[in-house]
Amino acid sequence: MIKPDPKLLELLVCPLTKTTLEYNDAESELISKVAKLAYPIRDGIPVMIVSEARELEAKEISK
């Protein structure tokens, strides 16, 4: 698995809410708790498309 550049992750925000994102290394996702979405990272590249994101479950948001 290719990990994304940490400097790139610092610059990214949720395209829907413009809020900061949390990196989930275990799932290779960027989490937007405000939008309740998880954006996938594929081959080290964050896919920042709302339609590609999965909806978070309530237990994932409260972490």
**Could you report the per-residue pLDDT of 32-55, keeping only the tens digit for each?**
999 999 999 999 899 999 999 999
Cβ neighbours, 10 Å, residue 12: 15
**Domain enclosing residue 28, as ranges:** 6-61
The total number of structural domains in the chain stands at: 1
Q: Tell me, yes or no, whether 26 lies in a domain.
A: yes
Q: Is residue 14 part of a domain?
A: yes
What pLDDT, on the 0 to 100 scale, is given for residue 2?
81
The region of weakest confidence among 16-20, 23-27, 37-41, 58-62 is: 58-62
> What pTM, to 2 d.p., does this model score?
0.90
What is the token pair recorded at 31? 């989490």
Strand extents, DSSP E, the chain: 22-24, 29-32, 37-42, 45-46, 54-55
Looking at residue 63, its pLDDT comes to: 64
